[in-house]
Structure 1
Amino acid sequence: MSDDEREEKELDLTSPEVVTKYKNAAEIVNKALQLVVKDCKPKAKIVDLCEKGDSFIREQTGSMYKNVKKKIERGVAFPTCVSVNNTVCHFSPLASDERVLEEGDIVKIDMGCHIDGFIAVVAHTHAIQEGAIKGRAADVLAAANTAADVALRLVRPGKKNKDVSDAIQKVAAAYDCKIVEGVLSHQLKQFVIDGNKVVLSASNPDTRVDDVEFEENEVYAVDIVTSTGDGKPKLLDEKETTIYKRAVDKNYHLKMKASRFIFSEISQKFPIMPFSARALEEKRARLGLVECVNHDLLQPYPVLHEKPGKDPLNAHLSGFCSLFRQWDI
């Protein structure tokens, strides 16, 4: 067996070492989620909740694999996001943001952890209220939960991505809700959070994906977002975007000193995984990130919203699934 063949085999899910790294990452991110959910109370600052999740993941992964010869990368695979009511996703504000949670809010939390590039992501929707959840809030939560269960059962060898898309849309319709357009469930690979094989939850004119069949030993992050609105999210304010990922295949000679400084810091600290601008020096980041994005050096994760209205509520659930093992995450 050649060195390349041996390395490929070591990275396969049939390797107990790889499975252990996935399961450890999943255990950490689940505990981080529990900590954030526990603190989701009226008047809690959203930025504090996001930082709590990220800090826990950094602390827990930082104590692992300290005594191995080969350096093992580990830490946050996707920054903690806390998106409220009609905000669909990716809200992870800067330290200066003063927004807080209120009684009655529907809060969507998502985050990711990795060990040696093997990624576990999780998402959960939490209602801030006493007593039973009723009305449209109950509908959208039940739709997301049921759709996620159905999707996880369909992500199996021999099934196709279209099978999942069709099934979850039928589930949402049964609750008089919509699957939010453009949400993708990606295949996960080592150091790759957005693999090419995807499940498109609900199509729109701007998003097309290839038909694919699920195969044994693949890993997917199954991402479900349901809505009581029309399921058509929009970017309302570019300044809300704080999460980015380095586009490793792009190069450009930046003109501004602030841009070069920030891009150098990003390349050193976050060469592959998505990161929050909160981890950078805020004033310099505001200046430098714009030029980096404009020249495609960074991929932004925009904060998307549905129109506030009669039922401006979304629910978000995510499951982490391998095609020959499943862990309850």
Structure 2
Amino acid sequence: MPIGRKPAGAAAKKAPVALGIAEPKVVESYKAAAKIANETMKTLIDACQPGTKVLDLCALGDKTMTDSLAKVDLPAETAKGIAFPTTVTPNQLVAHLSPMKESDDATMELKDGDLVKLQLGIQIDGYPALVGHSLVVGQTSTQGRKADVLLAAHYAAEVALRMFTPGTKNMDITQAVQKAAQAYETVPAEGMLSTEMTQNKVYGEKAVILNPSMELRRSHKVAKVEAHEVYQVDITVCTGDGKPRETEHRTTVFHKSGTRVGLKMQTSRTAFTEVTKRFPHFPFTLRTFSDERKGRLGMMECRKTGVVVPHDIFTEKEGELVAQFQFTVLVHPEGPEKITGTWFDPASAQSDKKIEDEELLKLLAN
């Protein structure tokens, strides 16, 4: 989720239960999307080798999703597509790196020992399934601060998963994630959001915010998890101070905000028309525009006027590390069901730190 931004276009009224996972067909759509997302992530994990270009990995992820979707037999009127374009984000960068073909980042290559974050998503009939994973390139085991931040993100995600039960307050999840991260002397990335998802909407009204500043605490309301809801849970943890900073890396991922503003430039109107036609509900990358250069120029005014929301590329301090695990969870009356998830094995990371909080240990034991 764009860091620190309130979900755009939130519905004024709660969607009826009939549109949630109380409907078996809706569950089928979420799980069909999750299957492709998981399979694509496995392909991407295997392709993360030293010397591989970030751009090539992003293109591979998007092509794998598109090819897989083409094989899904659905009625012609049933929508299907990418719910979140592939991003490949190394080391101290926080998220959302998805280079354009003509950019400084197009030549960036993964190096042995890089801690890289992978993220992507699929939608079937408008029901999205997102997934994010972290790994160390070229290594099967890790020590030191890489191990600390991976274990912190993994266990914080596992704690969060177990708390997505009916009646849990969003701020209780926030606090539990904070405690899990602190056990490894790390901190959640300030302002990252886990959001309720519904048909054609990744960023719904309800949200769990990580490491909120006082300003963010005031702007995000207290809410409870309820049965038949679906969430994308994004747990991003840092070895530094957890305060993402702006970078010079070009933002290439956006989503429509729902705001209507008259655009002055023809290039902007053309670009936004393409967005409206091809990406009406879900995030997109400029790399997929019919004309990449004109799309980039058009998005400048679209961003300035607020008709699109940018997924900016932030960074921790130089030399620090960021790890992310993201999953999609269905909230049933009897408890959570994770339908996308990590492939991380905690036994592959050796740390001298561990969780000792009794409440967290009790959660993790379940």
Q: What TM-score range do you get, normalising by the shorter chain?
A: over 0.9
Q: Secondary structure at the match of 1:147?
A: helix
Structure 2 matches for 1:67-82, cutoff 5 A?
Answer: 68=75, 71-82=77-88
Q: Deviations over 1:247-289 (max 9, x none)?
A: 223231x222222221111111111111000011122122211
CA distance in 1, matches of 2:144, 2:184: 11
Q: What is residue 62 of structure 1 aligned with on the other side?
A: 70
Q: Which residue pairs with 1:3 in the alignment?
A: none
| Aligned partner (choices 43, 46, 51) of residue 43 of structure 1 | 51
Cα distance in 1 between the residues matched to 2:315 and 2:153? 17
After TM superposition, what 4+ stretches of structure 1 lie above 6 angstroms from structure 2?
A: none
2:312 is equivalent to residue 302 of structure 1: yes
Report the Cα distance in structure 1 between the residues aligned to 2:148 and 2:287, rounded to whole angstroms: 34
- Superposition pairs for residues 100-119 of structure 1, below 5 Å? 100-119=109-128
What is the match of residue 204 of structure 1? 213
Deviations 1:219-257 (A, max 9, x none): 1111101111110001122x51001112223231x2222
Q: Distance in 2 between matches of 1:322 and 1:130?
A: 33
Paired letter, 1:121? L
The reply on whether 1:235 has 2:246 as its aligned counterpart is: yes
Q: TM-score normalised to the size of structure 1?
A: 0.93
Structure 2: which amino acid aligns with 1:233?
Answer: P
Aligned residues: 317
Q: What is the one-letter code of the residue matched to 1:148? A: A
Aligned to 2:254: 244
CA contact (8 A) 1:65 1:72 kept: no
Q: Give the one of 1, 14, 21 matched to 2:22.
A: 14
Q: Which runs of 5+ in 1 are unaligned?
A: 1-6
In the aligned structure 1, how far is the partner of 2:128 from the partner of 2:140?
35
TM-score by length of 2: 0.83
CA distance in 2, matches of 1:197, 1:265: 29
What SS does structure 2 have at the residue aligned with 1:226? strand
Q: Distance in 1 between matches of 2:150 and 2:72?
A: 36
Aligned-partner SS, 2:177: helix
Matched, 1:180 2:186: no
Q: Once the two structures are superposed, what CA deviation does each residue of 1:286-313 show, in whole Å capped at 9, x if it has no partner? A: 221111111111111101111103xx11
Structure 2: gaps (5+ residues): 1-14, 341-366
* Cα distance in 2 between the residues matched to 1:246 and 1:65: 28
Name the structure 2 match of 1:216.
227
Residue of structure 1 equivalent to 2:61: 53
Aligned-pair CA distance for 1:201:
1.4
Q: Percent identity?
A: 36
